[in-house]
Amino acid sequence: MHSPSTSHLQRRLTYREAGEPIARKYPVTVAIDFGTTYSGCSYKFEDDDEIYDVVKWPKHFGFYAKVPSLLYYKGRAKRLVDWGDGARRLALQPGQEGYLIRQFKLWLAKDTTSSPPPSLLDGQEPVDAIADYLRLFHESVVEQMMRTGAGRYSLDQFGYCLTVPAIWDDTAKAAMREAMIQADIIRADDPPERLVLVGEPEAAAMYCEKQCESWNNMKDQDTFMIVDAGGGTVDIIIYQLEISGETRSLKEITRGCGGTCGSAYIDNNMRQWLLNRLGDHAELVSTCTLENVMETFTEKIKPYFCGEGDQYLTVPAVMLQVREHIDDLIDDDGNIRLSTEELNEKVYIPVFDQVMALIKEQLDQVPKVNALYLVGGFGCSEYLYTAVKENFDSRIPTIAMAPRGDVAVARGAIYHISQPSFIATRVLRNTYGLMTRMAFQEGLDPEESAIVTSDGVKRCATRFDVMAFKGQSIQVNQKISRHFWVKYPRHTEADLYVYDGDAPIPRQITDPGVRKMADFPIRMLPLDGYTQGDPVDIRIDFMFGLSELKIHVFIAGRQVEFVTTFENE
């Protein structure tokens, strides 16, 4: 087991014209809500207004609409033998020597250094684990869909939307596209519009607009906050409702924030509390036994604890052997007593405090918020809802849990596909720019960056040419273009850099805080009528307002496709 190294991800960047609805080409839309602890799926046929949820999963018993995001590998070859509930059941069996892989989605978040996710297999990268999971997940989804009318369509007629946390950067989003290809759900040569990435908060916002009763009281220019609390991440954004006649749209008015403080961290805190109590005797408790104890906590205590009352955690009989070493841990009835104070202080409150801080950070950016909607699996927690009410009831008139919040994101993604322009503007979370050669300025530009170009001008080769600023409000389909020329038939490149700090914008790409986001090698086309040395016009259109960075490149007016390498630190 190991912490994965990093790698480069390659993908083609060719995109459809802005605003072209996916349903024109793909009559079946499948929305995948891939989560840290649980994953869900909804789907829709173009000739049917109904949205269907996948609620039946292999070896799944119960009423919860989602399936665990778990994998179980076995043997020296680390062969994948099961997933979801099947993986969990294998891990709970005594004498198992396999590997249960969990919370692997967290490896794509940037801020995992303070609390790293559980290890992957030796040599396994996050994309590999995610692809393994999505492959089996998709096979199960297709099997269920074929029983409900999808048999009249071929798989080539399926279009997909995949929800992603708002706090993810473009590298993480590219990793998910790569995983979908690796899982054989889409192909590398498919049109990019076959897979649309949708931000989880905006999918949740569209769901609330359709399903929350209090939404009917919203007026033009009213604002509301989406708190999308899942297993791994919590994403928070404030939107403003704009009504013009019969047209309603949403405008992002804050730079959304988020953190890795989802319900999985309650599980992690509980696990750590147990290990701390066991101390040096933890080695007496097998992995299987520990997983059984954690299963009891997550199924029978975690969803129902509301901050009051001691809880009793029943342990497997095999664990009673440690009672002689730690007398005060397990009582005579074979239970571990979890006091109210310990559960709050050690397990729940540390996570809640982070969520409350994120909500306050957003509230402080605007004069007023009319409503707050909790969505996501963690958003269904009565305890979290109570904590939010206690902290912010005086500042937010309406605080509500979305009905069936566990399916809000997947269903909202379906709504997004059918109404892609509902989110009209977004606020950028980073500053974007190109590495550009500009006239050298003595005293400002480092001498080592100086070059003399073919026109005899001394230039700085490392200037950070900003195209879009952090905090800037931008139309969803707005294009920001850069024009330049190269001599035929030379190739060129346009490397994209990003700065996510709040300090004054750096001048050089070599300044602290600036990092390369992607390589854009541009290969010259054979052009009729051009001879060596002729200037060729290059235009690059960047679209930063979408959930996924989209780029168009034109050489002498002809759009081309090319390969980009996303830098993964």
pLDDT tens digits, residue range 267-296?
A: 999 999 999 988 887 787 887 888 888 989
148 and 187 housed in the same domain: yes
CB 37 within 8 A of CB 70: no
211 and 318 housed in the same domain: no
Distance CA 245, CA 23 (A): 26
Q: DSSP secondary-structure letter at 124?
A: -
* Structural domain includes residue 353: no
Query: Which one is predicted more confidently, 248 or 511?
Result: 511
288 and 327 housed in the same domain: yes
CB 480 within 8 A of CB 542: yes
What value does the mean pLDDT take over residues 301-316? 90
192 and 209 housed in the same domain: no
User: For tokens 């914008």, what's the residue?
Assistant: 505
Pick the last residue of a domain from 148, 175, 199: 199
377 and 240 housed in the same domain: yes
Secondary structure of residue 322 in the 3-state scheme: helix
64 and 180 housed in the same domain: yes
pLDDT number for residue 555 = 92
63 and 156 housed in the same domain: yes
Per the DSSP assignment, residues forming a β-bridge with 74 are: 79
Pick the last residue of a domain from 174, 199, 224: 199
85 and 187 housed in the same domain: yes
373 and 248 housed in the same domain: yes
Distance CA 355, CA 233 (A): 10
* Structural domain includes residue 67: yes
306 and 388 housed in the same domain: no
* Structural domain includes residue 44: yes
Count structural domains, the chain.
Answer: 4
* Structural domain includes residue 487: yes
Question: Phi/psi zone of residue 309: left (φ > 0), alpha (ψ -120 to 50 degrees), beta?
Answer: left
* Structural domain includes residue 404: yes
- At 227, which CATH number? 3.30.420.40
Distance CA 102, CA 99 (A): 10
* Structural domain includes residue 3: no
Range of the domain at 412: 201-260+358-420
Going by their DSSP bridges, the two strands 158-164 and 28-33 should be labelled as parallel
* Structural domain includes residue 57: yes
Write out pLDDT tens, residues 403-452. Answer: 988 899 999 999 998 888 788 899 998 999 999 889 999 999 999 999 99
Helices and strands per DSSP (H, E), number in the chain: 10, 32
CB 428 within 8 A of CB 544: yes
* Structural domain includes residue 212: yes
Write out pLDDT tens, residues 116-164. Answer: 778 899 889 999 999 999 999 999 999 999 988 888 999 999 999 999 9
Per the DSSP assignment, residues forming a β-bridge with 44 are: 29
454 and 551 housed in the same domain: yes
Write out pLDDT tens, residues 136-145. Answer: 999 999 999 9
Least confident of 113-127, 128-142, 298-312, 322-336: 322-336
Secondary structure of residue 474 in the 3-state scheme: strand
Task: Give me the phi and psi of 11, to 5 degrees please.
Answer: -155, 155
Distance CA 321, CA 200 (A): 45
Q: Which two tokens stand for residue 435?
A: 């590495």
92 and 140 housed in the same domain: yes
Pick the last residue of a domain from 347, 381, 403: 347
Task: Let me know if 212 is exposed, middle or buried by CB neighbors in 10 A (0-12, 13-18, 19+).
Answer: buried
Distance CA 262, CA 115 (A): 12
**In angstroms, what CA-CA distances link 215 with 173, 224, 373?**
31, 10, 10
Task: Let me know if 422 is exposed, middle or buried by CB neighbors in 10 A (0-12, 13-18, 19+).
Answer: middle
CB 41 within 8 A of CB 31: yes
Secondary structure of residue 518 in the 3-state scheme: strand
Task: Give me the phi and psi of 81, to 5 degrees please.
Answer: -110, -20
